[in-house]
């Protein structure tokens, strides 16, 4: 399960690193949430709901413990968009930033979902 979560986050990070304009559009939307609520409900909410449902199902099956899947999903989304903004600021080594952020999100997931005791 944890490997699948790592893969999912990696794909999301790759997507946003390759398309930083997506983060710019999200930031614009977040500045005026009521104005863009319909877009959020149409496009973002269904994706959030799918990942939240998978985390909840895994928790119900005893694969992991996740008391608040909506918080986890939104926290990771914000963190990844923040990472993309940091890359755009070009304040350091882009390769290092990418490597360190990837390691961080993996540690974050590992901390949230430690392996079950044998």
SS3 assignment, position 67 = coil
Reported as a single tens digit per residue, the pLDDT across 72-83 is 888 899 999 999
pLDDT at 12: 93
Reported as a single tens digit per residue, the pLDDT across 98-116 is 999 999 999 998 888 877 6
* Residue pair 24/31 in contact by the 8 Å Cβ criterion: no
What global pTM score does this model have? 0.79
SS3 assignment, position 61 = coil
Structure tokens, 110: 């590992």
- Residue from 118, 14, 117, 116 nearest 59 by CA: 116
Reported as a single tens digit per residue, the pLDDT across 41-64 is 888 888 888 888 888 888 888 777
- What average pLDDT does the structure give for the chain? 86
């Amino acid at each position: 399960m944890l490997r699948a979560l790592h893969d999912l986050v990696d794909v999301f990070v790759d997507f946003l690193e390759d398309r930083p304009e997506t983060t710019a559009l999200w930031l614009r939307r977040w500045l005026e949430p009521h104005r863009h609520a319909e877009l959020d409900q149409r496009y973002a909410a269904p994706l959030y709901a799918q990942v939240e449902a998978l985390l909840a199902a895994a928790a119900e099956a005893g694969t992991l413990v996740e008391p608040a899947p909506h918080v986890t999903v939104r926290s990771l989304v914000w963190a990844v968009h923040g990472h993309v903004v940091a890359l755009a600021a070009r304040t350091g080594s882009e390769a290092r930033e990418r490597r360190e952020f990837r390691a961080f999100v993996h540690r974050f997931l590992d901390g949230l979902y430690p392996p079950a005791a044998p």
